[in-house]
Structure 1
Amino acid sequence: MANTFPPKLTVLEKLDLIPANISLVATAIYAAITGIFRGQKGAKSYMKHINYAVIRKMLQRLSTRQNQATNPSTSGAYEIFARQNKIEAQTVQLNYGGLGHWLGNKDAKNVLVYYHGGGFAISAGTAYFQVLKGNNGGAQRCRERYCYLCTHVYSRTTCRIPNTAGAFHDCPVGFIFPRISPSVKENALKDIIMPELAERWSSSYLAGQETDNYNQPLLAPAEWWKDIKARDLLIVAGSDEILLSCIEEFVEKLKSVLPNVTYIVGQDEPHVAPFIYLMLGDKSTTQQDGGLRTWLSSRL
């Protein structure tokens, strides 16, 4: 992906952006009208209800190529963030074509390695870096664009925090994603993603490969997780996620074999709320973000 990004759109793909943008405006108008009568079916905030509807439509209407071509790459977003915050951009080349983007002092005692989400289809925006900068409590943040598999060895204390958004989500969305599960039905108009999108990203990530315990974690038996190389685990979700049922099933499986699993649910929050809120201009601290800060502070 690093060598072909951003993709060059064909003439038809470029022309298709016109009706695509019109559909976003139509979606916003429709959500604004119907949102008045949303009751418990929509997001708690009226404006967020409208914004989430537009985000869902954008992710569903645009192809992966169109989305990538019209947004900065992760490296591009990092450079924009660095300029805006007047910090030195420090990018390192990793194995397998990955890139690591540093925030803070590389010689710090504690290093947080963060693998951003996006289903291996969408780059990290500046909001991702802003959340990490806002969480800076003395620990170094290493921000990575995660490509399939990255292996690192540190002589310092390292804490790895993978984002659950992705093709190998806590819930194996592409193959056993239960469309009739409670959270899919209850949160269909509350979240920023939809089953069709998750399935598309999962299918693209697997590229025809067979499923296994690595790329479909929920399929793995509980015993498969008992020797995981982690002292403590934190799983964060939003109560308005369509994947909530799958995530909770996964949490229960982990708790059955691991002693130190912490599970935090942000009430009335969607998938990856800390980033979505910032993208929408809301700088309030989400419960997911606050829970992560507290959890990290008690361990670093």
Structure 2
Amino acid sequence: MASPPAPQPLSLLEKLDLLVGQLSIVGSAVWTVVTGVFRGNDYPKEYKLHVLHAILRKSLSRLTGRQLQALIPSTSQGYEIFMKGKRLQPATVALQHGAAGHWIGNKDAKKVVVYYHGGGFVLPAVPDHFDFYNQLITSLNTAGHDVSVFFVSYSLAPTAIYPTQLRQAISALRYILTETGRSPSDILLAGDSAGGNLALATLLHLTHPHPAIDPLDMSGPLAGVVAFAPWVNFSTDGASMRDNKFKDCIPPDIQHMWAPQYLRGLDGQGKQAQGDAWSEPCRAPLEWWVGAKAEEILFLAGRDEVLFSAIDGFVERFKTVFPKTTYFIGYGETHVAPVYSGQALGRETQQGGELKRWLASRL
């Protein structure tokens, strides 16, 4: 199958609107800096975090995916910038269907984490993705482990639509299995937000293949799967959407903006494509998760994130059919806190600490 088309440059109208949007974001930031001193309990406790999250929410709501992509380096570009900044040698592998895999750490390490980044299928990885996972594996390897990260760059919506990203995610796992010769017991899948969606969808594909994607047979189960604040459904229902809308870094309405771009295809009758078991893991029949090909699964969530209700409900059901599940909640923490809030907090997050502990016990 051919690779997805390249994104088209912004039109003149999009560029003009981008300028207006940036001015609007600056104005909102100034207002937040001034009024944030008087915020109540519905907002983050840390002032810096309050300002950061307000700016992020405004940016994500005001700008389109294409405009944001024009401002932010691509995942591959961000990886190159990070590695050169750390004086490390970049190591990138071209994968099938237009994807790429970027090594963080020793590519010959015994254990490998295949990682899918978040961003609503619209945004690339951010610098803190690379920084956090580089620090994580450095800490693990210093403690005597031998692990690296294979960070996957997949195509973004709205240029590329479902199931392109899932096909690319599966191609990354296929590469690690077939081209590097690793056993499934030496491989972990992981991802945050939309990447957590891909990690779960890839796991589901191993036992219930997506009809449009070639099956992937394995000799045994994966060592583990990490679903970090996974985007398990595209609904805006749930108490956390209301209760955490001024605490989290992502606004509730982003679901309505980005999910349709991901599911932009037509169903063959000219109607908007609907979600299915692989695009929204919560739609999979519960019994489909029985016998999932992983030794253990870790779910991470922040209690103050807008996705919490959806994640919490999914995990409680999931545990009934897959007992080897660990579920960790970072109280007072928001969406993928180690990546999107870590620098502002200036300390190790609860979720980041649990991820390190869980990985260390399984490597």
In the superposition, the TM-score normalised over structure 1's length comes to: 0.92
Contact 1:171 1:218 in 2 (8 A): yes
2:183 equivalent to 1:165: no
1:142 maps to amino acid: F
1:11 maps to which residue? 12
Contact 1:167 1:201 in 2 (8 A): no
2:38 equivalent to 1:37: yes
2:284 equivalent to 1:225: no
Contact 1:113 1:143 in 2 (8 A): yes
The gaps in structure 2 that reach 5 residues or longer are 142-146, 155-164, 198-229, 265-271
The SS at the match of 2:341 is helix
Of the candidates 170, 174, 195, which is equivalent to residue 252 of structure 2?
195
2:309 equivalent to 1:245: yes
Contact 2:236 2:253 in 1 (8 A): no
How big is each residue's C-alpha offset from its partner over 1:93-136, in whole Å with a ceiling of 9 and x where there is no partner?
11111100001111111011111111110001221111110101
| Partners of 2:72 and 2:113 in 1: CA distance | 26
Count of matched residue positions in the alignment of Structure 1 and Structure 2: 294
2:41 maps to amino acid: Q
> What's the offset of the Cα at 1:205?
0.8
1:293 maps to which residue? 356
2:329 maps to amino acid: V
| Partners of 2:196 and 2:361 in 1: CA distance | 30
2:202 maps to which residue? none
Contact 1:52 1:191 in 2 (8 A): yes
The SS at the match of 2:151 is strand
2:166 maps to which residue? 148
| Partners of 1:219 and 1:34 in 2: CA distance | 41
Contact 1:238 1:266 in 2 (8 A): yes
1:186 maps to which residue? 243
Which residues in structure 2 correspond to 1:264-279 (within 5 Å)?
Answer: 264-278=328-342
How big is each residue's C-alpha offset from its partner over 1:188-207, in whole Å with a ceiling of 9 and x where there is no partner?
10001122212221111111
Instruction: Provide the aligned C-alpha RMSD in A.
Output: 1.8
| Partners of 1:108 and 1:31 in 2: CA distance | 46
Q: Matched residues, percent identical?
A: 38
Contact 2:75 2:126 in 1 (8 A): yes
1:4 maps to amino acid: A
In the superposition, the TM-score normalised over structure 2's length comes to: 0.77
Which residues in structure 2 correspond to 1:5-154 (within 5 Å)?
Answer: 5=7, 7-136=8-137, 137-138=140-141, 139-146=147-154, 147-149=165-167, 150-151=170-171, 152=174, 153=177, 154=181
2:332 maps to amino acid: D
The SS at the match of 1:195 is coil
> What's the offset of the Cα at 1:219?
2.3
| Partners of 2:260 and 2:113 in 1: CA distance | 30
The SS at the match of 1:247 is helix
> What's the offset of the Cα at 1:59?
0.7
